[in-house]
Amino acid sequence: MTTKDQRMAGAVPSVMHVRCPDRLPEEAYRRVLDQLAGLSPVVQALPPTAALVELKVPLRYHGADARRLGEILRVRTLCVRTLSRLGMDVRVGVGPSITVAATASAQIAQPGGVVAVDPGQAAQWLAPLPVDALHGIGPRQADTLHDYGIHTVGLLAAVDPATVQRLLDGRAGRLAADRARGTGPRPGVPRTLPAAATVRCAFDRHVLGGAAVRAALLDLVVQLGLLLRRRGQAARALTLTLKFAGSGGWEKTRRLKEPSAHDDDLRVLVSQLMDTAGLQRGRLTAIALKGEDLVSADQVALQISLDDAREARLVAETTADRIRDKFGPGVIGPAAAFRSAC
């Protein structure tokens, strides 16, 4: 069986189904959803370890084919530091319907990969699969179909839908007949984005401050700004949390003058927060930076600026975001951030 990647000029798959590893911690699952929200404005969480993503807008925005968008997601989940320590990968299925996308993701062997099914080849791709491999077909339904000699999805698709309804009791039979033909029972729905966004850094060894801490903070600022911009949100306030050896901690919140998701604005406020911490010989073990009281970027007023240097930095930020979207989040950033001890 083969799959095709669709380009912008042709028909494109419209749904992505993502499967995370089994028994994934809830916090890690939330971070995967954050990564998905950075790819598309329409994400449906399927707890505890799966999600659906509508791809029409992302394909236009990112200018990538469906398979490449799936690979971008895999790179992002593997490169998020707290997830990479878990060795986490994801299985991504892409197709013209939920049924095809979810069936495709289930065909990928652990730990991860991407299968993108051409809309024009969906029925052909499904046909050889065992009927119990079709998304939405449970064990009891599969046993009933086996009793009538229907062992593959292709055979199920060839049976008259009215007959399938009689075999599988009404609505369940109608849905099974539709699934065998590659159509989905329902579209994805937008997921309400959380009112906060958090990025974290855990040090491999105790750090006493200085350049390593400043570099780690700058890296967190870049991560948070990118996350907010991909979500289409802006923060009204920032909370900085420091964890020290011996279970001690420090936390402080300060509000921005105006809601923002720009690295420059976040960096200035984080520097002020860090100055108030008054670090001397405290042995840091971790840092967390949280954007709070989030608003939609559409609600942020655009103001004319006479600061040419700031305007140049904003242009550079937009260019850097495009490079990250194409090549991954770690390929570009402030030089000082690469000194991070995280």
237-253 pLDDT per residue, tens: 999 998 888 767 888 99
C-beta separation of 112 from 103 below 8 A: no
**pLDDT for position 157:** 92
Residue 130 DSSP one-character state = B
**Which regions of the chain are under pLDDT 70?**
1-13, 56-67, 69-70, 72-87, 184-194, 209, 247, 279-282, 301-306, 329, 335-342
**pLDDT for position 283:** 79
**How many of the other CB atoms lie within 10 Å of CB of 119?**
19
Cβ-proximal residues to 251 (8 Å cutoff; 6+ apart), any chain: 239, 240, 241, 242
C-beta separation of 98 from 186 below 8 A: yes
**pLDDT for position 78:** 55
C-beta separation of 102 from 135 below 8 A: yes
C-beta separation of 213 from 207 below 8 A: yes
CA distance 275 to 17: 44
Please provide the size of the chain in residues. Answer: 342
Residue 113's DSSP bridge partners are 91
**pLDDT for position 81:** 41
3-state helix, strand, coil in the chain (%, to 5): 45, 20, 35
**pLDDT for position 279:** 67
Place of tokens 């073990």: 285
β-pairing verdict for 113-116 and 91-95? parallel
Burial of 205 from C-beta contacts in 10 A (0-12 / 13-18 / 19+): exposed
